[in-house]
Amino acid sequence: GGGGGGGGGSVSCLTLALQLLDVEERVPWEMVSSAEGLDWSLARPFWLQNVQEGRHELCTLAQAVGTLESALAEGALRRGWEEGREAWLGELLAAATATELRDALTRLEQAILWSAFEEGGGGDDKEAGRERAGKGKGGKEAKPTAGGRSRGIGEAS
């Protein structure tokens, strides 16, 4: 396997951090809450802080991608993910550029079974699914967003 560039030129760490936050925000609680040994509701604030503070550091973002993957419940990822997981982790840790790291994040995003947690979730059309996924259906239980303080919006409320 392997190979296959991400296309679209080079990616900045900031762009990658924003994509990572977007993926995490779309993950329903049901996908993370049952993960063994990690209570995402407790870990998430620290995870968000790490992504915000490390948004210019490749190694911090790589760790954050790995942490998110390990927080996902067993049924949240496509069948066959486990077999390729070691190779994926290797790519994640070896990523020397934000573009390489984005490719690893995109592979994780594509492995998440979004349709299992969407109301009337459609088939397996990856491209259309990726486009739709960003729009948010509002059918999931809302997680507190990273907004407000971390995005620097409005200092006093």
- Give the pair of three-digit tokens for residue 82: 């486990």
Three-class secondary structure of residue 89 per DSSP: helix
Three-class secondary structure of residue 112 per DSSP: strand
Q: According to DSSP H, which parts of 72-97 are helical?
A: 81-94
State the residue for tokens 């486990």. Answer: 82
Phi/psi for 39 (5° steps) reads -90, 105
In 3D, which of 23, 43, 50 has the Cα closest to residue 111? 23
Q: Which residue type is seen at 131?
A: E
Asked if pLDDT for residue 19 goes beyond 80, the answer is yes
CB atoms within 10 A of CB 16: 25
Average pLDDT value for residue range 45-62: 95
Residue 3: what pLDDT? 41
- Using CB atoms within 10 A of its CB, is residue 82 exposed (0-12), middle (13-18) or buried (19+)? exposed
CA distance 58 to 127: 27
Q: What digits encode the pLDDT tens for the residues 113-151?
A: 998 777 544 444 444 333 333 334 344 445 555 443 333
* Percent of the chain with pLDDT strictly greater than 70: 67
Which has more pLDDT, 107 or 139? 107
- Give the pair of three-digit tokens for residue 35: 């993960």
pLDDT-derived band at 48 (thresholds 50, 70, 90) equals very high
Q: Which residue type is seen at 74?
A: E
CA distance 61 to 102: 10
Residue 18: what pLDDT? 96
CA distance 62 to 67: 9
Three-class secondary structure of residue 24 per DSSP: helix
